Amino acid sequence: MSSLNSQTIIGNVGSEPEMRFVPSGKATTSFSVACNEKYGDKESTEWFSIVTWNKLAEVCNQYLSKGQQVYVEGRTQTRSWETDGVKHYKQEVIANKVIFLGQRKQENTEEIGEDVPF
């Protein structure tokens, strides 16, 4: 039986993108995206941690900014680590496509997609 791991998110960037380089030299940029939902007189916000790699990471770091609306496609991945004997888990969206929807640091709308090895 086939399986599918896919996320599509439209929301606002909640933190300034943070780029770093892993030991192999590849660029990675992380940022959060907030999706708001209104129902009646109540509102809730769901936060997503987004991770991009390579050229997509460089473009996101250069052009995305906090508050900007963005469309993200990718897959969900759970990362785990241990600190002082306590196991921690974090779910992230590994993006393979990002479309800048709102105003950005430069004038043009940009669509960047890149196949990310699984």
Give pTM, 2 decimals: 0.81
When mean pLDDT is compared across 15-19, 76-80, 111-115, the lowest value belongs to 111-115
Structure tokens at 67: 């508050």
All domains in the chain, ordered by first residue: 7-112 (2.40.50.140)
Residue 110 has pLDDT above 90, yes or no: no
At residue 90, the pLDDT reads: 94
CA atoms within 13 A on the CB side of 6: 5
Point out which residues pair with 106 in neighbouring strands.
none
At residue 102, the pLDDT reads: 74
Residue 118 has pLDDT above 70, yes or no: no
Condensed to tens digits (0 to 9), the pLDDT of residues 13-36 reads 999 999 999 999 999 999 999 999
Q: What is the CA radius of gyration of the chain?
A: 15
Decide: 90 and 109 in contact? Cβ < 8 Å: no
